[in-house]
Amino acid sequence: MSRYLIAMNKLLLLDRLHNGRDQFELLLNRIGFTRQLTMKGVAGGLSIKDLLADVLSHEQFIADRMIEILHGETYAPSASFTALENFRAQYGYPDYESPLMEKEKLDHLLLEKYKNIALDEIVEQELAAYANILEAANQLTHHQYLDHDLYHRIAEHTYRPWRRTSTSIHRWLKRIASEQK
């Protein structure tokens, strides 16, 4: 594969990250008011703050895995429930890539963890996790991307959660607008 094509793959990923991130942040900025961000009912009994905690945990998960790759460390998904619990205890978030985890389902233990953490702190941590992803993404080689399926994994833990969250927020905004008529 030519150096040009290798560079294009990384550039396309970074472009998708930046574009997805811009759309996600524009939506959050549109809502803006702290009171609205903590109101329950956006997705079931969840608030935007709850959804942001989920986004943060996914971003932190992939940021940590990317940093491990940069340091030559190996990640293996938890294969037992004991390993799954140990992973959560060590990192503070679920092992999202474990076959024992239900995909696309919010982790209620995680939501409980962030329940008493201020929205501003969640946003600050989420921005730091995203910055770590970008920094690692720029440092990783093409072979590391391929060897660790990072093009797919980064998408799974960044712009896909952003899209899920954005979809929930858009539905909620439409519901609020129709109720106000």
Q: Predicted confidence band at 45 (pLDDT cuts at 50, 70, 90)?
A: confident
Backbone angles phi, psi at 78, to 5 degrees: -60, 130
CA distance 173 to 153: 30
Q: How far are the Cα atoms of 15, 90, 115, 119, 158 from residue 52, in angstroms, in the given order?
A: 22, 21, 12, 9, 12
Number of domains forming the structure of the chain:
1
pLDDT digits (tens, 9 = 90+) for 171-181: 988 888 787 76
Residue 166's pLDDT is what? 93
Host domain of residue 152: 3-179
Number of CB atoms found within 10 A of residue 143's CB? 9
pLDDT digits (tens, 9 = 90+) for 145-154: 999 999 999 9
Amino acid identity of residue 114, one-letter, is Y
Residue 59's pLDDT is what? 97
- Select from 165, 151, 56 the least CA-distant residue to 113: 56
**Position 2 pLDDT exceeds 80:** no
Min mean pLDDT across 36-45, 48-57, 81-90 is at: 36-45
- The CATH number linked to 13 is 1.20.120.450
pTM for the full predicted model: 0.90
